[in-house]
Structure 1
Amino acid sequence: MLSGTELALAGLAAVLAGLINALAGGGTLVSFPALLVMGISPVAANVTNAVALCPGYLGGALAQREDLRGQGHRLRILIPAGIIGGVTGGILLLCIDEQVFRVLVPFLILLAAGLLAVQDRVKAYIASHAPHDAGATPAGRAALPVGLAAVYGGYFGPGLSVIVLAVLGLFIDDNLTRLNALKQCISLAVNVAAAVFFLFTGFVIWPLALVMAAGALIGGSAGGTIAGRVDPARLRWAIVAIGIVVGIVFLIRL
């Protein structure tokens, strides 16, 4: 039975996660470890966190809907790949022994922190190397790599956006703004697919999920309001530092 204090702490962690996601990305590196510290098992924490933060991804996709014009053919190919990959990752999470996931958690957190650290470099590389000729490369070539990235997203999640953006930049010729909009929709599809699958697994801790969903929405709204007054780069590096510390702590606890 969860106490009021535990629910309040989970809600606060979700507010911070929603705020961080709106400003710089990487909020899961706060909310997921918070659940682990509360004593929630890694699989249940991952599942609950995925379900709770899922609505927040919708805002990012809607914010760039104008940049999706003319990309319907890409969405028709890549969204199904993301859905299949997301569900596959969720199945792997539940089929692989929980002790294996427990061992992987510190490394996955460190990986997510590393991906967040190179996010700006990935974007800069794509912006400077991707030809600005929309539609020159078939989206079908990106379907398998996107699907594989989605498997990771369904299994764990943090850092998925960086991986997807890198894949899109390698296989699709277009400018960074349009690729980022495509990435937002794929990330939304992956997370929604995994979350819907998790709803029927019995691992979702619903009191936590509901409190955290409300907190994430509050944090996301606040982030949108103060976005112009916060340096995303500094915030991102602060989250990277937190992720590294948390990863090392859990690695030592093994």
Structure 2
Amino acid sequence: MLEMGLILLAGIWAGMINVVVGSGTLVTFPVLLLFGYPPLTANISNNIGLVAGGLSGTWGYRRELAPNRAMIVRLLPASAAGGLAGALLLLVLPASAFKTIVPVLIILGLLMVALGPALQRLSARRRALTMAGTPTGAVPSGGAVGLLAGIFVLGVYGGYFGAAQGILLVGFMSIVTSLALQQINAVKNVLTTVVNAIAAVTFIVVAGEHIDWKVVALIAAGSLLGGFFGAKFGRKLPPAALRATIIGVGTAALVKMIFFP
């Protein structure tokens, strides 16, 4: 009962963090390892369970999603393809393959989040120069291709391991789009949920023997509640506070990974 209760609580906390920031795996994954679950089983079961939190968090951010439906439709295939590729890589490569570069990726993501406003202003000026003389609403093809490529790569990472995938997405979109931070956070929730869902289906089809359905049920129930609470809290944060929260949680996750693996 103690084990089940702690896994459920970890799921709630992870669901909240994923919606507001995006590093919930760094909560649930170590808890599962602590109770003796094999790394592959813990990773796969955790991935499947957290899909529920992504769905509730996405629903909570539905108002922020409305203005960017067209962008989301364009980005979803890249996220889905990346999630599928990452899930298949997890079944082929050693479980530790990505862990060695996760701290570097988190640092990069935090820098992008911190420098997001300044980089957005610089990018906006460059886009204005690039778009001069082009029809209204046109998007430079290089920028669109770069955005899709980045979303695909982060989808691969998310399907494979996923720790701090949300932080990386927020940081990346902060410098390559002109969206407000809350809108970026809403789009991030959709994309990470799609990546996790595609990876989950892949695992169920080809790696069912590595799934612990008790763990899945506990994390799903917890993250579903956490997603609702996280959306209610996250949507009320002003941009500066949201940015500070992302940087704070990301830094704590970084310290944990480096000094308390």
Give the TM-score band, short-chain normalised. Answer: 0.7 to 0.9
AA at the equivalent of 1:189: V
Task: Calculate the aligned-residue CA RMSD, in Å.
Answer: 3.2
User: Which residue number corresponds to residue 175 of structure 1?
Assistant: 179
AA at the equivalent of 2:179: N
| Structure 2 contact 21–166 (Cα < 8 Å) conserved | no
* Structure 1 pair 238–171 and aligned structure 2 pair: CA distance change class (3 A): closer
User: Which residue number corresponds to residue 45 of structure 1?
Assistant: 42
Match of 2:190 among 185, 188, 191: 185
1:108 and 1:38 map into 2 onto residues whose CA distance is: 25
Does residue 224 of structure 2 align to residue 220 of structure 1? no
How do 1:34-113 and structure 2 match up within 5 A?
34-69=31-66, 71-96=68-93, 100-102=94-96, 104-105=98-99, 107=100, 110-111=103-104, 113=106
| Structure 1 contact 109–247 (Cα < 8 Å) conserved | no
2:72 and 2:232 map into 1 onto residues whose CA distance is: 29
* Structure 1 pair 135–54 and aligned structure 2 pair: CA distance change class (3 A): farther
Does residue 146 of structure 2 align to residue 152 of structure 1? no
User: Which residue number corresponds to residue 168 of structure 2?
Assistant: 163
- Deviation digits for residues 11-65 of structure 1 (CA, Å, limit 9, x no counterpart): 1211221233344432221111111122212221111111111121223433443
* Structure 1 pair 150–22 and aligned structure 2 pair: CA distance change class (3 A): closer
Count of residue pairs the alignment pairs up? 242
Match of 1:120 among 78, 95, 113: 113
| Structure 1 contact 15–212 (Cα < 8 Å) conserved | yes
AA at the equivalent of 2:167: V
1:85 and 1:182 map into 2 onto residues whose CA distance is: 16
Match of 1:199, SS?
Answer: helix
Structure 1: tracts of 5 or more residues without a match: none
Structure 2: tracts of 5 or more residues without a match: 129-136
AA at the equivalent of 1:192: A
2:16 and 2:66 map into 1 onto residues whose CA distance is: 28
| Structure 1 contact 81–146 (Cα < 8 Å) conserved | yes
| Structure 1 contact 90–155 (Cα < 8 Å) conserved | yes
1:70 and 1:135 map into 2 onto residues whose CA distance is: 17
1:65 and 1:222 map into 2 onto residues whose CA distance is: 14
User: Which residue number corresponds to residue 132 of structure 2?
Assistant: none
- Deviation digits for residues 231-254 of structure 1 (CA, Å, limit 9, x no counterpart): 76368525633542344333xxxx
